[in-house]
Amino acid sequence: MAATSFCVTPTLYHKFYPQDRKSQSSLFWFGLNVNIFFGNVLAITQQSLWGRALDYAALDGGRRVSYAAVVGQGLKAEGLAAFFTPTKWFSRVLMNAPIQGTVPWFYNEVLPLGEGAWLAGAANLLSLARPKASGPQACESPFPRATTPTVDAEARGVDGSRGLVSRRVSEGSR
C-alpha cells in the first residue's frame, strides 16, 4: 500500500491529471480512488497469493514454492475467488483506504501547515542539547587521525604559510 500512496498516486497525479483541474480536493479524491480501485485490488491478490504460497511451502515438511503451481491449484479449487472476492475487497477498503488513500493529500496540504513551527522547535531543542565546548577540542574531528592528511614541516613555505599537503599521515596515528 505504501507503493500506492507514495509512488503511484503522486506520479499519476503529477504526470496525467489535468493541470487546470488540480487542487487540494482533487488530490484528496484522486488518491482515495487510486487506493480503493487499484491499490486494494492488487494488495488483496498479493495477500491471497502469499498465504497460499506459505501453505504450499509447508506441505511435506517444507518445499520450494512454485508460484505457477500455487496459482494453478488456487484457480482449480476456487476459481478467481481464490485471489479476489468483493467481500475481501470491501473489508480491505474499509480498513485501509481512508488513511492510505489520503496520505498524499495529507503530506502535501496538512503537514506543511505546521512545518515552520516544528522545525523552529526542533532547532531550539538541538541547540540546547549541543555541548558548549571551547578551545581546540570543540573543533576536533570525530574521525580517527589516520584518515586526516597532515602538513609536513618541510612543506611549509619560507614565510611560514602552508604549502603542499603531505600524503603521509603522522607517525602516531598509524
Whether the per-residue pLDDT at 146 is higher than 60: the answer is: no
Better-predicted residue by pLDDT, 49 or 94: 49
- The alpha carbon of 53 is separated from its chain's Cα centroid by a whole number of angstroms, namely 27
What pLDDT band is residue 101 in, cutting at 50, 70 and 90? confident
| Average of per-residue pLDDT values in the chain | 78
Residues 40 and 96: their CA atoms lie apart, in Å, by 8
pTM, whole model, 2 decimals? 0.52
Better-predicted residue by pLDDT, 98 or 126: 126
Residue type, 24: Q
Q: Tens digits of per-residue pLDDT, 49-66?
A: 999 999 999 998 889 999
- Asked if 64 and 57 count as a contact pair (C-beta separation under 8 A), the reply is yes
Q: Tens digits of per-residue pLDDT, 18-32?
A: 999 999 889 889 988
pLDDT at site 165: 40
- 3-state percent breakdown (helix, strand, coil) of the chain, nearest 5: 75, 0, 25
pLDDT at site 169: 41
